[in-house]
A and B are shown apart, each in its own frame.
Chain A
Amino acid sequence: MKKITFAINYRKAKAKYNQDELVEICVRYYFLDKNTSKYKVKNMSTGVKCMLKDWDKDWHKNPERLPILKTDIDYIEKNKKLFELRKRILVDNFQKIDTEDKLFKSSKKLNAKIPNGEINLKWTNHKNNINLVNPANKRNIDIIVVGTGLAGGSASASLAELGYNVKSFCYQDSPRRAHSIAAQGGINAAKNYQNDGDSVHRLFYDTVKGGDYRSREANVYRLAEVSGNIIDQCVAQGVPFAREYGGLLDNRSFGGVLVSRTFYAKGQTGQQLLLGAYSAMNRQIAKGKIQMYNRHEMLELVLVEGKARGIIARNLETGEIKKYSAHAVVIASGGYGNVFYLSTNAMGSNVTASWKIHKKGAYFANPCFTQIHPTCIPRSGDHQSKLTLMSESLRNDGRIWVPKKIEDVKKIRNGDLKPIDIKEEERDYYLERRYPAFGNLVPRDVASRAAKERIDAGFGVNKTGEAVYLDYSSAIKRYGKEKALLIGIKKPSEKEIISLGEEIVEAKYGNLFQMYEKIVDENPYKTPMMIYPAVHYTMGGVWVDYNLMTSIPGCYCIGEANFSDHGANRLGASALMQGLADGYFVLPYTIGDYLADEIRTGPISTDTKEFDEAKKSVEEKIKKLANIKGSKPADYFHIKLGKIMWEYVGMSRNEKGLKTAIKEIKKLRSLFWKELFIPEDIYSMNKELEKAGRVLDFLELGELFALDALNRNESCGGHYREESVEKDGPQKGEAKRDDENYSYVSAWEYMDDPSKSVLHKEHLKFDNIELKQRSYK
């Protein structure tokens, strides 16, 4: 019954107060009366007063947790005083530190460690000033890297080259299969090979702007700064990037920016880059500098005296749970888009590693920042297990539309009308209509929301009502005419034009068209493709400082798993860049700063209380899952969670829906604990057990995700709150960012339940870029 809260000291009957009257707030708590051995209530006056209308009696339920609302001009000072008093009582009476005085703790606890100096010198100065570990000492230091994607693979290889002993983990049967392998389009770098005015500063600017001003300037600048090195490195490793006839590297433009800075290897850029990092790893594995643990899943982080000292992992083939120690732990486990069940991520992509460290003290930042990609192949029915991305490049030539008349939509769905029979003037090219300046090339978040708007209005064109057309007929005709002219056909027939045009489209997009045809069984040259937005990438993730260290000493987080560089929206071709920048060029330096103090530590034993306890907790958790013995497979809960997330926390969010989501997810989680069924043999390959563990972590993350979305009552990037739109002016109806109140990173601290998480704010400062509202009209 140790409760401590705030309350109002009413001096007369409640009803007799009017809203503008001042009331005094007191701290109310229970204490043990030694004489009677019973708890008693005590009210302590605080001297803090506010108007009744500014008092939030439900403050503890509100994510902001402010007893005095922001409508009071002195709310910061007053709340501060309240929490200070409360803290004193807590310490005096309960020997407990206050976990809720986040207003001020945020500044204390979140130290981003951004180096001083001009933005373009920060990284150089920082490298010159941080501690280094001498090569002989590196041999005595172990590092665990969880994940072998672009981030983890490049980090493992680089750290091993430097001389550290690395232990790498992945859940697939080979490090080469990490989900980075699926990236199609390309990787950005400020090389300015095309001489079109690109520069480090421009890439930095585009990334901050594209992220809708919710990322940390210093990190983004560094990313742009090292981007060129990545390309040099990959070419030296033998990555076969696309080349021009002159033998130099080719570039394409990507994601609506004004320069051509994207390097690519056909539609398999991620594959080629990952195989590069994998080959660098192989070289170190052969030398014994990396110990590779394939088919192993990290299930717990081990802390010793507050520092990350190892992990507990399960061998997915034998079911064996083992302890692994190191002087530092690096998490590179990728994104958590699969919290939506259906996404473009791999089936096994998960939040488990990030979530486990979160529960051990690492803050989770901006969980609600998700990218929904506009051009994916729509769902074909309830059997669907994942969604396939169609490269963004398709929007360069394709035109997106739905019928203007709802009758036509109905006929199409019934199969009574074909899209090619709908006349030009009966089609609604809604992106061209709404955004004449950018048309079909608006950023991903804008294109996705516009599709949703049409679909919600009932204009979806497939049998599930969840698709719009992406039409190549105009492009085929345009290219056909150009080609006919070029090869000197005077009056080409319609048929000639189309066949010439199709040839050109095939040369440019053939592999994508083929992929579409294999999946949908329709010929996209002859009938428009159907597309629909799908969850693709998570900008949010584990909070890290400039050194990429989480809020746990010695625990780092890199790649998509961290939050650092993309703000509220990621530009195309920037995730690969970030993963490799983190792993090849940033972490190998910054980790030295921490490890310099570890050279005398010696090997870390796993025969300690901390390791044994962590191992035991993992084993017990697994047994508990196996013992539920309900009747529903893990997928059942995952699908349900996905539906809740998509409906209430998807492309468009509002307060009511988010509160519903939180409630529903809680309910689903308790159902999970009653109804789950997994095969009981936990000491063997048990794919259902793997799934169940991941789904459980998603069920917890989902709740924090919704809470974060609820807290952020602004629309920015991929996060769209219906309450925050432009009310009038030329931008009427568009998303409205609120820099005054939300120009911060939300970093959540775990308290034994996701919805009790405490919010810390890292305020973002923009010294080099002017904040503007994005406009694509």
Chain B
Amino acid sequence: MKLNLKIWRQKNRDSKGKIATYTVKNISKDSSFLEMLDILNNDLLEKGEEPVAFDHDCREGICGMCSLYINGKAHGPDSRVTTCQLHMRKFNDGETIYIEPWRAKALPIIKDLVVDRTAFDRIQQAGGYISVNTSGNTQDANLTPIPKNDADKSFDAATCIGCAACVATCKNSSAMLFVSAKVSQYAMLPQGRVEAKERVINMVKQMDKEGFGNCSNTGACEIECPKGISLENIAKLNREYLSATLSTK
């Protein structure tokens, strides 16, 4: 395949970026999207030019590091996959592909396609945990049975990979899907109930402080989320938040 690429290039946080155009040839339809970018980069390097910086690590859809806005869609045209799982067979020979970074005030661009997602870390530091020390003397794991259904739902929420596609997709740049997934995971388990109130209040507070927008229930995030994190989590967060604020007032 031969492809025309329009890629966002930006030197660093402070500089202005622009779209640059490249062509790549002889791309196998079996190669992955990131492998296509590897080929572009090696071409650039052999010409002594600066390669395109992008984030990636596991290349199997689990670490959440890859993050591209491809032809106007987070993680590209395929559904339920991350950019690293996207294959070139989803594109046509001769096609022009636009590749841009996530864009949101709370996710500043570091270089080219690489963005700063540490806001997500800070939200979790505000309460995304259960306060238990690793003494080795906690109670036996089977002492408190947990209904399978609750455990499964908690698990589903916990599969969020923290990629921030939901933020990039949202017209308000809201991080509600991400935050709600974390809140629900713990809210569904008895261990997590103890600190549930403080958790939801603190995490939402931090989210606002980071500059993420408000949720207007558009639901675009759920559609673009590579892990299928459900909007039900947002409803759950809202309930948790409401009851927490009411009872602490």
Contact = CB atoms under 8 A, between A and B. Distances in A.
Interface in B104-118: 110-111, 114, 116-118
Given A191-B141, A246-B145, A381-B31, A347 B56 contact: yes
B28 to A, nearest CB: 5
A234 B120 CA distance: 22
A677 interface: yes
A547 interface: no
A242 B151 contact: yes
A238 B130 contact: yes
A636 B58 CA distance: 20
A158 interface: yes
A280 B129 contact: yes
Majority secondary structure, B binding face: loop
A182 B60 contact: yes
B136 A584 contact: yes
Interface stretch (B39-47, B95-103, B229-237): B39-47
Interface residues of A, number: 82
Given A238-B185, A519-B87, A687-B53, A232 B138 contact: yes
Contact of A679 (B30, B39, B50, B151): B50
B59 interface: yes
A177 B65 contact: yes
A588 B129 CA distance: 21
A191 B141 CA distance: 10
A384 interface: yes
Interface in A171-199: 172-177, 179, 181-182, 191, 193
Given A249-B141, A282-B128, A381-B28, A161 B154 contact: no
Interface in B152-204: 152, 154-155, 158-159, 161-162, 185-186, 189, 191-192
Contact of B65 (A158, A172, A241, A272): A172
Contact of B12 (A158, A279, A684): A684
Interface stretch (A96-104, A263-271, A743-751): A263-271
A229 B133 CA distance: 12
Contact of B111 (A346, A384, A684): A684
Contact of B132 (A172, A226, A236): A236
B125 A174 contact: no
Given A265-B155, A633-B45, A521 B89 contact: yes
B142 interface: yes
B57 interface: yes
A521 B57 contact: no
B130 A348 contact: no
Interface string A574-589: 0000000000110010
A174 B134 contact: no
B158 to A, nearest CB: 5
A116 B177 CA distance: 54
A383 B88 CA distance: 12
B110 A677 contact: no
A521 B89 CA distance: 9
Given A240-B185, A268-B159, A282-B125, A247 B63 contact: no
Contact of B139 (A154, A181, A232): A232
Interface residues of B, number: 76
Interface string A415-428: 00000000000000
Given A249-B141, A385-B34, A687-B51, A294 B118 contact: yes
A688 B145 contact: no
Nearest to B46: A631
A635 B46 CA distance: 11
B207 interface: no
Interface string A591-610: 00000000000000000000
A317 interface: yes
B131 A688 contact: no
B155 A677 contact: no
Contacts of B136: 226, 229, 232-233, 584-585
Contacts of B138: 232-233, 235-236
A264 B155 CA distance: 11
B154 A240 contact: yes
Contacts of B31: 380-381, 383-384
Contact of A240 (B64, B128, B158): B158
Nearest to A386: B59
B1 to A, nearest CB: 11
A685 interface: yes
B118 A173 contact: yes
Nearest to A171: B57
B20 interface: no
A173 B141 contact: no
Contacts of B114: 685
A42 to B, nearest CB: 54
Given A161-B133, A385-B38, A635-B42, A243 B63 contact: no
Given A240-B189, A275-B158, A385 B59 contact: yes
Given A193-B142, A226-B136, A518-B85, 9 more contacts: A232-B139, A242-B151, A243-B146, A271-B158, A282-B129, A346-B59, A385-B34, A521-B87, A584-B136
25 contacts: A172-B57, A175-B121, A179-B58, A181-B58, A181-B64, A191-B141, A191-B142, A233-B134, A236-B139, A236-B191, A238-B185, A240-B152, A244-B148, A279-B128, A279-B129, A383-B38, A384-B35, A521-B87, A584-B134, A635-B38, A636-B42, A685-B12, A685-B114, A687-B51, A688-B51
Interface of B: 11-12, 27-28, 30-32, 34-36, 38-39, 41-42, 45-46, 48, 50-51, 53, 55-60, 62-65, 78, 81, 85, 87, 89, 110-111, 114, 116-118, 120-121, 124-126, 128-134, 136, 138-142, 145-148, 151-152, 154-155, 158-159, 161-162, 185-186, 189, 191-192
